[in-house]
């Protein structure tokens, strides 16, 4: 089935070989949907490097454009150069440059952030004579719970200046927050596309966990709808609310939508089906 809106997905490598087999099935299903790209996350300090490469290779074989995450936390410049060269040798040409979550040791790594990592990726690619694209993260509701939107926009400008060609936002639950951020970013001089990230979350407990990890609280209306729904209806609530939000974001000018798949294809594909239905298109 083809969908009338541009979209992409995020997957993460499983921790076990058995789990990787299941992720491969999901990856095949998502690649068949025709996304603009599928991004694959990267464990702290490269802990899932081999599995990330394997999943990227599987997606490439299934016909999907792939985006490889890279993080600077806990790594030296030499390690990052080596990992970039490994990805490039495997045919990866698109990256997402991130700092990553700080470990308990507080080791931010030699580069400490996406700005120097973006520059490094372009440097390595130029030396090897290949063309790449580098994406970065954006934070419409502030990084963590700082609420420092102005600071996040300054950071996004620095990422753009370092060679970032697009940004993917942290999870968005409200179109107004995304719209306000984009308007402020454009006024400040950000010109790269800013793609909103959406999570179809089906339980209030998972929403609380998302809030803990990202600092982004879901709207009370969504929490109440999930609490009021029966066990069999919560997935429907999540799908419909995410599709409705996607519709609002696209109508507000979002260039596409990025769906965090939680390594399950059924829910995110159902969101696209819902978005395509006569009720929303």
Look over the chain and give the mean of its residue pLDDT values, rounded to a whole number: 91
pTM for the model stands at: 0.92
Residue, of 102 and 281, whose pLDDT is higher: 102
158 located within any domain: yes
64 located within any domain: yes
pLDDT at 2: 76
Structural domain span for residue 140: 7-201+253-264
2 located within any domain: no
Q: Is 50 exceeded by the pLDDT of residue 264?
A: yes
> How many domains does the chain contain in total?
1
The token pair that represents 180 in the structure block: 């306000």
Residue, of 22 and 48, whose pLDDT is higher: 22
pLDDT band at 281 (very low <50, low <70, confident <90, very high): very low
222 located within any domain: no
Model pLDDT for residues 184-203, shown as the tens digit of each residue: 999 999 999 999 999 999 88
81 located within any domain: yes
Distances (CA, A) of 91 to 8, 53, 102, 126, 271: 19, 10, 29, 15, 31
226 located within any domain: no
47 located within any domain: yes
CATH number for position 154: 3.20.20.220
119 located within any domain: yes
Q: Is 70 exceeded by the pLDDT of residue 46?
A: no
């Amino acid at each position: 089935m083809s969908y009338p809106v541009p979209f992409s997905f995020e997957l993460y490598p499983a921790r076990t070989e058995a789990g990787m087999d299941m992720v491969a099935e999901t990856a095949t299903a998502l690649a068949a949907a025709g996304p603009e790209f599928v991004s694959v996350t990267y464990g702290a300090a490269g802990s899932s490097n081999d599995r990330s490469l394997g999943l990227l290779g599987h997606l490439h074989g299934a016909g999907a454009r792939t985006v490889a995450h890279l993080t600077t936390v806990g790594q030296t410049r030499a390690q990052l150069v080596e990992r970039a060269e490994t990805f490039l040798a495997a045919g990866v040409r698109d990256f997402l440059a991130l700092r990553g979550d700080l470990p308990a040791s507080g080791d931010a790594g030699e580069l400490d952030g996406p700005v120097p990592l973006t520059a490094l990726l372009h440097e390595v690619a130029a030396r090897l004579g290949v063309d790449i694209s580098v994406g970065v993260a954006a934070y419409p509701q502030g990084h963590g719970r700082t609420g420092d939107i102005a600071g996040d926009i300054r950071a996004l400008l620095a990422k753009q200046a370092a060679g970032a060609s697009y940004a993917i936002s942290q999870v968005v639950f409200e179109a107004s927050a995304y719209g306000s951020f984009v308007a402020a970013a454009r006024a400040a001089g950000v010109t790269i596309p800013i793609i909103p990230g959406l999570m179809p979350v089906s339980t209030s407990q998972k929403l609380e966990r998302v809030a803990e990890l990202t600092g982004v609280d879901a709207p009370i209306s969504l929490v109440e709808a999930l609490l009021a729904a029966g066990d069999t209806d919560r997935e429907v609530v999540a799908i419909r609310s995410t599709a409705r939000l996607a519709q609002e974001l696209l109508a507000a000018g979002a260039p596409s939508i990025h769906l965090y798949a939680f390594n399950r294809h059924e829910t995110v594909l159902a969101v696209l089906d819902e978005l395509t239905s006569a009720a929303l298109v």
